Amino acid sequence: MTDQQSADQPLIFVVGTGRCGSTALSNVLRLHPHILSLSEFVASMEPEPFPDGVLTGEQFLRFLEQPRAFTTSVMRHGFWPTVVETGQQPPGTGPDNEMPVLGALSVTVLPHLTDDPQDLLSQLRKELPNLPTAPIADQYRALFRILGQRFGTRVVAERSGYSLRMVPRLRQLFPEARFVHLYRNGPDTALSMSQYPVFQVLRVLLERANAKGRGQEGVSEEMADMFSHGEVDVRPILEADVPTAAFGKMWSDSVRDGLHHLADLPPERLASFAFEDLLDRPEPELTRLAGFLGVAPMPEWLDAGKAELDPTRRHASLALPPEELAALEESCAPGMRALGMSREADAR
């Protein structure tokens, strides 16, 4: 990749713990005509989003389209029952409400970009095989460039949940990238994690990684091990009665490790945002974000962004029973201190 290519299409990674409001922020970014907002792109390539060596264009396309056992397992047992119960019929639904097995791009990335993801996928199937053989980072850059040309954007903003642990690898492979760190009140984030199937499984993977001394960065390895033979019935994990405080510890560990990974980035390459600030002061915070990304804070975009941010998404954890809330706040305390946050200040 040349310096000119990097300058022509700035690359920003929005990183966080997950369940921190990053999906809403990704939706806001998508509304800007100059931003290519990629939702869950890197996460959808787990457990090995950055294979070693080089890939031809054909190999890269197959890599992108390969179904991931982790995603399929969690969707089948964690999300699909709700889809069936609510009578939703997504494109590709099989007979008798059978869940389709979709490639990585088709799960969240392309539907976030267009109402006709199959058409976009068809176009990529024509273009990607023509790419020259290159390392995975350069193939990703080429894909971002193709998508940017398709949608007329000039800035790439990739956002994946639970991505703070990926910062060292992202910095290594994309030295030109800038980072937006989004964070949210710990107890509210941890409570949301505890109710979300993906994080219920991720917590178990992190527990296994910690037992082997791998920590947050070992989650991908544990994911590869657990799903090495394909789909896994994760219902026992989803049905387990796990204290909410366990997710508070998961959140705190993610925050503290992530802040360490970001600590030496210069100000021009790192901007931090509290989700609560985006809810309370959307216009100045979105204006600051636009400045960091290098796009104009268009008034129509600011208005649309404000409409996308739900100010009621606060303080859900305060409804917990007192003992459960106290344990959750204690488990979140290390992360809250690291961020310089306090429950009292957030409850303003």
The CATH number of the domain where 314 resides is what? Answer: 3.40.50.300
pLDDT greater than 50 at residue 16: yes
The pLDDT-based confidence of 104 (bands split at 50, 70, 90) is: confident
Report field, pTM of the whole predicted structure over 0.85: yes
pLDDT at 106: 84
d(CA 3, CA 5): 5
Give pLDDT, residue 88.
52
* Other CB atoms within 10 A of residue 7 CB: 9
Q: How far apart are CA 107 and CA 119, in angstroms?
A: 15
Nearby residues of 247 by Cβ (< 8 Å), 6 or more positions away: 190, 191, 193, 194, 199, 203, 331
Helix spans in 267-310 (H):
275-280, 282-293, 299-308
**Average of per-residue pLDDT across 216-236:** 95
What is the pLDDT at residue 99? 62
- Give the model's pLDDT for residue 78: 85
pLDDT digits (tens, 9 = 90+) for 142-160: 999 999 999 999 999 999 9
pLDDT band at 73 (very low <50, low <70, confident <90, very high): very high
Question: Other C-beta atoms within 10 Å of 98: how many?
Answer: 11
Contact (CB, 8 A) for 308 and 294: no
Q: Using the predicted structure, report yes or no on whether residue 183 has a pLDDT greater than 50.
A: yes
The Cα 55–Cα 237 span in angstroms is 36
| 3-state secondary structure (DSSP) of residue 138 | helix
With bands split at pLDDT 50, 70 and 90, how would you rate the model's confidence at 91?
A: very low
| Of the listed ranges 47-51, 102-106, 235-239, the one predicted with least confidence | 102-106
Confidence at residue 108, expressed as pLDDT on a 0 to 100 scale: 83
Number of domains the chain contains: 1
| CB distance 22 to 181 below 8 Å | no
> What pLDDT sits at residue 86?
47
The packing angle between helices 299-308 and 22-30, to 10°, is 150
**Domain range for 290:** 3-346
pLDDT at 198: 95
Mean pLDDT of 266-295: 97
> Mean pLDDT for the chain?
91
The answer to whether residue 83 scores a pLDDT higher than 80 is no
Burial of 347 (0-12, 13-18, 19+ CB in 10 A): exposed
Predicted local confidence at residue 312, as pLDDT = 87
